[in-house]
Amino acid sequence: MTQQTKFLLDEGRMPTHWYNIAADLPQPLPAVLHPGTLQPIGPADLEPLFPMELILQEVSTQREIPIPEPVREVFKLWRPSPLIRARRLEKMLGTPAKIYYKYEGVSPAGSHKPNTAVPQAWYNAQAGVKKLTTETGAGQWGSSLAFAGSLFGIDVQVFQVRVSYDQKPYRRALMETYGARCVASPSNLTNSGRAILARDPDHPGSLGIAISEAVEVAATHDDTKYALGSVLNHVLLHQTIVGQEAIAQMEMAGDDPDVIIGCTGGGSNFSGIVLPFLGMQLRGGRRRRIVAVEPAACPSLTRGKYAYDFGDTAHLTPLTKMHTLGSTFTPPGFHAGGLRYHGMAPLVSHLKELGLIEATAYQQNACFEAGVMFARAEGIVPAPEANHAVKGAIVEALRCKAEDRPQTILFNLCGHGHFDMTAYSNYTAGKLLDQQYDEAELAMALSGLPSVPA
Ligand SMILES: *Cc1c(COP(=O)(O)O)cnc(C)c1O
């Protein structure tokens, strides 16, 4: 008898709704505050940036939110995505654990990001929006929104973090192929960008700065709105299609995960796989360990402060309570560009504070070592960001081996690394540095947190 390795759902079993964990939280999320008045903001405050349907999803407490039919039609290009048992990796590690991964690299852009780019572009198109601005770190989000914009006739302008613009010309080429316009950030197109360049013409950029630029353009143009690829509640909501499929596929496999793992930059792919499982637990189901893995060079969940902070560097966004390294903190230029964000999704931070999830951090060489091992066992070359989840899964599998416990591990392989081969070459050549962030800069950035009365 052959043992099954790949678990596929047919199109008819694609989820019809997104799962909203706000309906099941033991305590609600802390309010989002207006930066001037420090009072909770209302839906109208967000209208310059987002269409109303997305704002309503942002604040909704309804458990299930229907996925529009035209969005599901697009999803059929790559969804349901496969769940695969990593039998060769298990063997290589000599672990009694079973390792499963949900593979999101099958999307056109090569990551989980189109799961939210497509609905965001669709809701904007329905609201008559002609242009979307956004930021991109590694280029994954920019290419996903560029793809989604091309489907619904929306013009997309992407502020790409300078280091990634220089290091990843092919991600830019992909965005331009889908019809988007790319600008290296910090740029001369915005007040926020010009202010940074005046102080440091060679600034490497950061997600916080690129967000400021994209928000500024959207806020100052009537026909333009802004789209964010992570962090916000509605983005995490859209990603829950991943975990819902995984639940059905784990059932097909006749297994149930004891540990669920995802990498965290802003928290969206992690939330996507984790929230539907966590929802079952909050409604009385069994408790599973849930582990977020972040880079040691940008450790918001493990080393950041849980406090109100801005989402961007120029302080144009509302204040949200989250684990933050400080909005002026510039993480070192390591290769998992998608994880170089100073903050964390408020929802993921809240779950951490409630003790519902764990967090851990690893250096990039350890993560690339894990990624190369995975590639040699399973054939898929993970994105540098996804290597953090692979590393987390391998650590758990080796723990199972040491403790002789045959547990079941599930992780989100959130993207492939085909656009990141320069990073792999550097790793192979021994040229990858385990970057330490600047402790003094972190202390300074944290001392500059806005003061919000309790
Ligand atoms: C953007 C990205 C991330 C980081 O964002 P999250 O919101 O934390 O998921 C991680 N992995 C890949 C492949 C990405 O494209």
| pLDDT (tens digit per residue) in 282-312 | 999 999 999 999 999 999 999 999 999 999 9
Q: What is the Å distance from ligand 1's center to 266 Cα?
A: 7
Residue 126: CATH number of its domain: 3.40.50.1100
The domain tally of the chain equals 2
Same domain assignment for residues 150 and 266: no
Whether residue 338 is predicted with pLDDT greater than 90 in this model: the reply is no
* Whether residue 116 has its Cβ less than 6 Å from ligand 1: no
Same domain assignment for residues 130 and 197: yes
Q: Would you say 371 and 386 are in contact if contact means Cβ atoms under 8 Å apart? A: yes
pLDDT above 70 coverage of the chain, percent: 100
Q: What is the Å distance from ligand 1's center to 44 Cα?
A: 29
Can you tell me the distance from the alpha carbon of 161 to that of 138, in angstroms, rounded to the nearest whole number?
8
Position in ligand 1 atom list of the atom nearest CA 105: 13
From residue 374, how far is each of 76, 261, 270, 288, 333 by CA, in Å?
28, 15, 19, 24, 24
pLDDT above 90 coverage of the chain, percent: 90
Q: What is the Å distance from ligand 1's center to 37 Cα?
A: 32
Q: Is residue 41 part of a domain?
A: no
* Whether residue 414 has its Cβ less than 6 Å from ligand 1: yes
Q: Is residue 72 part of a domain?
A: no
**Tens-place pLDDT, residues 399-432:** 999 999 999 999 999 999 999 999 999 999 999 9
Amino acid at 140: Q
> Residue holding tokens 């300074």?
444
Hey, what's the torsion of the CAs at 144, 148, 151, 153, to 10 degrees? -120
Same domain assignment for residues 403 and 309: yes
Same domain assignment for residues 205 and 246: no
Whether residue 15 is predicted with pLDDT greater than 50 in this model: the reply is yes
100: which strand partners? 85, 410
Give the mean pLDDT of 49-77. Answer: 98
Position in ligand 1 atom list of the atom nearest CA 383: 13
**Tens-place pLDDT, residues 21-59:** 999 999 999 999 999 999 999 999 999 999 999 999 999
What's the mean per-residue pLDDT of the chain?
Answer: 96
Q: Is residue 248 part of a domain?
A: yes
Q: Which domain holds residue 289?
A: 6-13+78-110+233-447
Q: Is residue 19 part of a domain?
A: no
Give the mean pLDDT of 61-83. Answer: 98
Same domain assignment for residues 248 and 363: yes
* Whether residue 140 has its Cβ less than 6 Å from ligand 1: yes
Whether residue 138 is predicted with pLDDT greater than 90 in this model: the reply is no
* Whether residue 268 has its Cβ less than 6 Å from ligand 1: yes
Same domain assignment for residues 147 and 101: no
Q: What is the pLDDT of residue 331?
A: 84
Q: Is residue 29 part of a domain?
A: no
Can you tell me the distance from the alpha carbon of 451 to that of 414, in angstroms, rounded to the nearest whole number?
36
Give the mean pLDDT of 257-264. Answer: 98
> Residue holding tokens 């593979």?
103
Same domain assignment for residues 421 and 308: yes
Same domain assignment for residues 206 and 244: no
Residue among 264, 385, 390 whose CB has most ligand 1 atoms within 8 A, to mutate: 385
Q: What is the pLDDT of residue 453?
A: 81
Give the mean pLDDT of 178-192. Answer: 97
* Whether residue 386 has its Cβ less than 6 Å from ligand 1: yes
Give the mean pLDDT of 148-156. Answer: 98
Q: List CB contacts of 264: < 8 A, sequence separation 6 or more.
A: 270, 292, 293, 294, 300, 301, 339, 344, 348, 359, 388
Q: What is the Å distance from ligand 1's center to 198 Cα?
A: 31
Same domain assignment for residues 281 and 370: yes
Confidence of residue 335 (pLDDT cuts 50, 70, 90): confident
Same domain assignment for residues 132 and 202: yes
Same domain assignment for residues 282 and 417: yes
Q: What is the pLDDT of residue 2?
A: 63
- The residue whose C-alpha atom lies closest to atom 2 belonging to ligand 1 is 338
Which residue, 184, 210, 226, sits at the end of a domain?
226
Whether residue 1 is predicted with pLDDT greater than 50 in this model: the reply is no
Whether residue 357 is predicted with pLDDT greater than 90 in this model: the reply is yes
* Whether residue 266 has its Cβ less than 6 Å from ligand 1: yes
Which residue, 173, 199, 226, sits at the end of a domain?
226
**Tens-place pLDDT, residues 211-227:** 999 999 999 999 999 99
From residue 346, how far is each of 227, 316, 322 by CA, in Å?
17, 17, 5
Give the mean pLDDT of 345-374. Answer: 98
Q: Is residue 39 part of a domain?
A: no
Q: What is the Å distance from ligand 1's center to 267 Cα?
A: 7
Whether residue 13 is predicted with pLDDT greater than 60 in this model: the reply is yes
Its pTM surpasses 0.95: yes
Same domain assignment for residues 102 and 143: no
Amino acid at 214: A
Q: Is residue 453 part of a domain?
A: no
Position in ligand 1 atom list of the atom nearest CA 268: 7
Which residue, 179, 203, 226, sits at the end of a domain?
226
Q: List CB contacts of 393: < 8 A, sequence separation 6 or more.
A: 99, 101, 261, 409, 411
Tokens of 332: 């070192």
Q: Is residue 195 part of a domain?
A: yes
* Whether residue 162 has its Cβ less than 6 Å from ligand 1: no
Q: What is the Å distance from ligand 1's center to 322 Cα?
A: 18
Q: What is the Å distance from ligand 1's center to 2 Cα?
A: 35
Residue among 103, 242, 269, 274 whose CB has most ligand 1 atoms within 8 A, to mutate: 269
